[in-house]
Structure 1
Amino acid sequence: MNNDIMNLENLIKTDYDNIAGIVVQRKGEIVYERYFDGFASNDTIHTMSVTKSIISALTGIAIDKGYIKSPDQKVLEFFPVYKLKRGEKTIQHVTIENMLTMTAPYKYKSEPYTKVYTSDDWTKAALDLLGGKAGITREFKYSTVGTQILSGIITNATGRPVSDFAAQYLFNPLGIKAPGNTRISNKEEHFAFLKDRHVSGWAVDPKGVNTAGWGLCLTPRDMAKIGQLYLNNGIYEGRKILPSKWIADSTKEKSRWGELPYGYLWWIADYDGYHCYAAIGDGGNFIFVNQDKSIVVAIASRFVPKYKVKIELVTREIIPLFE
């Protein structure tokens, strides 16, 4: 092991001690793989908001397969039995594109996680929060609970559970072991899923609908395969899994949170003149793709409260070692 790698690993153990595993791929080949804190290559980690970017991919597949017409479709087209409240107009104009770009309007000031995740139907609970008097302003409003609506859309559009759809069209073709469903029924189970050291599966609500904003457990190798799929413009081992146009649309700026550009549930992370994008989850979970250098970095990390995501670990410490 050379000194640069030793310095990186010492930095991780000192400043990023919740990291469970890292996989780096260059031009499709694994050039670095390391596990920390007692974790091994086959251990799955809760990827937190990386789940959102997987839901983006599944939305693109559903459009490609004809289950969804386009991102311009109205959200309520997929919930024909949903009852609007009297005088509610804004929600009728919200599109899938608004959901993907975090420009959908909501009635809350801070996300009511407990209210949504202790309800018996998380998608309906999220729909009840959608809208507001201001209308659709295209203002960026990051929402984890709101993203749940996309799972409801995929479920209703395809007529099958999101996990089954994902297994057939994304996970199995990539050689990823499809996660089973992990039912979350109350606040205690939710917190345990966030905090437990070893978790597996994909969280579902009492109706059996998979989470969209969090709740998916993968290994670092699984995460790297997702990144490689995007780097390869939707092709994996000669098979088209995801349309290249969807990847292009997903990884260019559609909205912006302050100085941070956002695509279709992917962060745009360009630096030093290189085109990069990333799926980012709380605790320091990353699927980071440097398009220009053909490098994918996958990092799986245990959830730590109040942890600040530091993308500089990837751009300044990891990628320069494997360019």
Structure 2
Amino acid sequence: MRLFFQSKSFLPNVSHWRTQMIPINKLFPLLLAFPLLSSLPAQTFDYAAAGAYSASKNGHSFLVMRNGKIVYEKYTNNFHSNMAHRLASGTKSFTGVLLAIAVDDGLVGFDEKVADIITEWKSDRRKSQITYRQLLGLVSGLDGGKVGSAQDYAASIKAPAIAAPLKVFSYGPNPFQCFGEALKRKLQKRSPKETVTQYLMRKLIQPLGIKVSYWINASKGEPGLPGGAYLQAREWIKFGEMVRLGGVYGNKRIVSSKNLAELFKPTKVKPTYGVGWWLSAKGSPLPEDLAYAAGSGTQHLYILPKLGLVLQRFGEIGRRKYSHAALFRALLPSHYKAFGSACRGSAGFPALGGDPFLPPRVGGRARILLSNLPSGAPGLFYMGLSKTKFGGFPLPISLAPLGMKSCNLWVSIDLPFAFRAPSGRAKLEIPIPNDDLLLGHSTFFQALIVDPKANPAGMIMSGGLEVRIGL
């Protein structure tokens, strides 16, 4: 709440529909000092709408975990909860975390040269410079190889370097299998010796209680690291929750938060990719702190730490194209929604609404429009945090005892903004901070208009308006 109301970017403009404005510098002290009488309403997310969107794009599962609890679970298009599904390249997210665990263990360092253990690379001027961070960030210069056609560990290290490190982004299976070979060799030097499968299971899979349905080549000790895992939906989302919590699951520390955080640092070469994880692009229509695993056929595991959310989706490509942005617009819609009734004034019923061409999105603006007012009428816009309670009293509250027949208070009075409407119209325009914490929150508005001809009190009220902040 403090962030929303005390951010310097949250500075409203109030005007009639011409050019007159109340100076922002006069409103800023009010925003800092005015007492907020209502509590911030809970965030709400439209899980069903997002699930319906997923299903319409040949989705097989859609699960939502919020703050550690599954709050939505749906299986569609002939898929069921007890069925395992391929993760495809969603497996790469496990590989990134496995690297962070290996750094915790002192097996490798993010910026250690891979050629220290894959000694065949030392004579190659490009490969000799590759670090583990660059390798799994897919910016090492190594040819990524053909997607979906992973070679075994030993063969993958023969892949050519097509550029020097940090010059190109090359997506494919080779870098992940090369990491597998490097890890294999490191583990063989330890006592007792372990295979990559044994290490993966002991350090990551078993502590999370994940039941693996199948993992390509795991039985040979060399699990496919670019895309070999098959899991049930509830098993994959466990992994996502651990990542959201910074490396903890239940009372177990799986990976240090410091090294886990390294996986979500982008490079200049590819700002939308970290180490095994995709990242939200700056200025994209996706939540700013989003990180996600993605696999062929639209397998996705979305992590939204600020919102306490983990979303899991299985699917296959259908006739209708799947879109990340469309899914999140369904989950986090922005809208204006009128509620309650206005009371009649001398110019009719005042109409309060939102500008349909300016939806209330984070980083954007909300524009509240008021019309059907007496020409030149002064008044107040009220911003409220609740439409159910005000000052301990349930809403709406009838204002008839005050001489305002058929008028009601529909929203809590938390912040007032004065206006004058010489043309019979007014507007309130509010910049919305670009912060994911506001997503899913609603604020509420109502207007009081001075109208001496309307009733004994000489004032009328509009109906209420919900402003839901979304994408």
The TM-score by the shorter chain falls in which range? 0.7 to 0.9
Report the equivalent of 1:212. Answer: 225
Distance 1:231 1:78 in 2: 32
Shift of 1:8: 4.6
Residues 230-241 of structure 1 correspond to what in structure 2 (within 5 A)? 230-241=243-254
**Could you give the per-residue CA deviations for residues 279-302 of structure 1, whole angstroms, max 9, x where no partner exists?**
111111111011111111011224
Point out the structure with the larger helix share. 1
Q: Mark the CA change 1:131 to 1:315 in structure 2 (over 3 Å): closer, same or farther.
A: same
The answer to whether the 8 A contact 2:63-2:312 is kept is: yes
Shift of 1:153: 2.0
Correspondence 1:266 to 2:277:
yes
Correspondence 1:125 to 2:155:
yes
Report the equivalent of 1:103. Answer: 139
Distance 2:139 2:320 in 1: 25
Judge which range, 260-269 or 248-257, deviates more: 248-257
Report the equivalent of 1:46. Answer: 86
The answer to whether the 8 A contact 2:167-2:269 is kept is: no
Shift of 1:244: 0.4
Point out the structure with the larger strand share. 2
Structure 1 residue identity aligned to 2:158 = D
Distance 2:69 2:171 in 1: 34
Shift of 1:145: 2.7
Distance 1:55 1:107 in 2: 18
Residues 137-216 of structure 1 correspond to what in structure 2 (within 5 A)? 137-159=166-188, 160-177=194-211, 179=212, 200-204=213-217, 208-216=221-229
Q: Mark the CA change 1:309 to 1:144 in structure 2 (over 3 Å): closer, same or farther.
A: farther
The answer to whether the 8 A contact 2:146-2:173 is kept is: no
Q: Which one of the candidate residues 114, 129, 132 is aligned to 1:75?
A: 114
Shift of 1:232: 0.7
TM-score normalised by structure 1 residue count: 0.77
Shift of 1:78: 2.3
Shift of 1:26: 0.8
Distance 1:220 1:157 in 2: 32
Q: What are structure 1's unaligned runs of at least 5 residues?
A: 180-199
3-state secondary structure, aligned to 2:61: strand
Distance 2:247 2:210 in 1: 16
Higher Rg: 2
The answer to whether the 8 A contact 1:283-1:307 is kept is: no
Report the equivalent of 2:103. Answer: 63
Q: Mark the CA change 1:311 to 1:127 in structure 2 (over 3 Å): closer, same or farther.
A: same
Q: Mark the CA change 1:89 to 1:318 in structure 2 (over 3 Å): closer, same or farther.
A: same
Report the equivalent of 1:194. Answer: none
Select the structure with the greater relative contact order (CA < 8 A; seq sep ≥ 6). Answer: 1
Aligned residues: 283
Distance 1:139 1:256 in 2: 6
Q: Mark the CA change 1:168 to 1:320 in structure 2 (over 3 Å): closer, same or farther.
A: farther
Q: Which one of the candidate residues 72, 77, 84 is aligned to 1:37?
A: 77
Q: Mark the CA change 1:320 to 1:242 in structure 2 (over 3 Å): closer, same or farther.
A: farther
Correspondence 1:12 to 2:54:
yes
Q: Mark the CA change 1:169 to 1:162 in structure 2 (over 3 Å): closer, same or farther.
A: same
Distance 2:125 2:101 in 1: 30
Distance 2:94 2:320 in 1: 22
Report the equivalent of 1:195. Answer: none
Judge which range, 248-257 or 288-297, deviates more: 248-257
Distance 1:217 1:278 in 2: 17
**Could you give the per-residue CA deviations for residues 56-109 of structure 1, whole angstroms, max 9, x where no partner exists?**
1011111111222x11121122234x477xx7321111111111211111358x
Shift of 1:255: 4.3
User: Between the two proteins, what is the percent identity of the paired residues?
Assistant: 23
3-state secondary structure, aligned to 1:72: coil
Report the equivalent of 2:330. Answer: 317
Shift of 1:306: 9.8
3-state secondary structure, aligned to 1:129: coil
Distance 2:321 2:113 in 1: 35
Report the equivalent of 2:382. Answer: none
Correspondence 1:298 to 2:337:
no
Structure 2 residue identity aligned to 1:266 = W
Q: What are structure 2's unaligned runs of at least 5 residues?
A: 1-45, 189-193, 335-438, 441-471
The answer to whether the 8 A contact 1:35-1:41 is kept is: yes
Q: Mark the CA change 1:313 to 1:284 in structure 2 (over 3 Å): closer, same or farther.
A: farther
Report the equivalent of 2:390. Answer: none
